[in-house]
C-alpha cells in the first residue's frame, strides 16, 4: 500500500493545485490523470518544494468538459492507487437530474416515515 497522500490546496485559473507527501527518495512518483477510465496524455506536473513535499499541478483539459458531471482522477502510475479526484458539473440537464434525485429521496423518506410510524403503533399495541 502506498504512503502517498495528495491534498488539494486550491483550484484557480483552470489549474488544480495540491501537495504530495509521503514520497521516499529524491524522485517523485509518476502520476496519471484519468477521465472516464481513460488515462489522459497530459498528466499532472510534480514540482519539488523546500519542505520535503511536492507541488502537484493539473491543468484541466478543456476538451473534456461537457454537460453533466465530468470526474477526473489523479492516481499513482505504478500502482494505480487513487490519490485525489475532482469533478465539474455543467449544463441544463444536470438541474433535471438533481430534481429527479431529490424527488426520489423525498419518496423514499415518506416511505420510511410511514414504516416507522407503523412500527411505533405496532410496538405500542404489544405493551
Can you point out the beta strands (E) in 1-127? Answer: 5-12, 15-21, 31-35, 38-39, 45-48, 54-59, 68-76, 82-90
pLDDT at 94: 63
**CATH assignment of 5-90, among 2.40.30, 3.30.310, 2.60.40, 3.40.30:** 2.60.40
Q: What is the pLDDT of residues 80-117, one digit of tens each?
A: 899 999 998 887 766 677 777 887 788 889 889 988 99
Q: Return the domain boundaries, the chain.
A: 5-90, 91-127
End-to-end CA distance of the chain: 54
Q: Are 34 and 75 in contact (CB under 8 A)?
A: yes
Q: What is the pLDDT of residues 53-63, one digit of tens each?
A: 999 999 999 99
Strand partners for 82: 75
Nearest to 21 by CA among 43, 40, 2: 2
pLDDT at 41: 93
Amino acid at each position: 500500500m502506498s504512503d502517498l497522500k495528495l491534498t488539494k490546496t486550491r483550484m484557480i485559473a483552470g489549474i488544480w493545485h495540491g501537495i504530495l507527501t509521503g514520497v521516499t527518495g529524491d524522485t517523485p512518483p509518476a502520476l496519471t490523470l484519468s477521465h472516464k477510465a481513460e488515462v489522459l496524455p497530459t498528466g499532472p506536473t510534480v514540482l519539488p518544494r523546500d519542505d520535503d513535499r511536492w507541488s502537484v499541478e493539473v491543468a484541466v483539459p478543456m476538451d473534456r468538459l461537457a454537460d453533466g458531471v465530468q470526474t477526473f482522477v489523479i492516481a499513482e502510475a505504478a500502482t494505480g492507487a487513487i490519490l485525489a479526484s475532482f469533478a465539474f458539473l455543467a449544463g441544463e440537464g444536470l438541474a433535471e437530474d438533481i430534481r429527479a434525485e431529490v424527488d426520489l429521496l423525498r419518496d423514499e423518506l415518506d416511505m420510511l416515515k410511514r414504516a416507522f410510524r407503523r412500527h411505533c403503533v405496532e410496538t405500542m399495541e404489544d405493551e
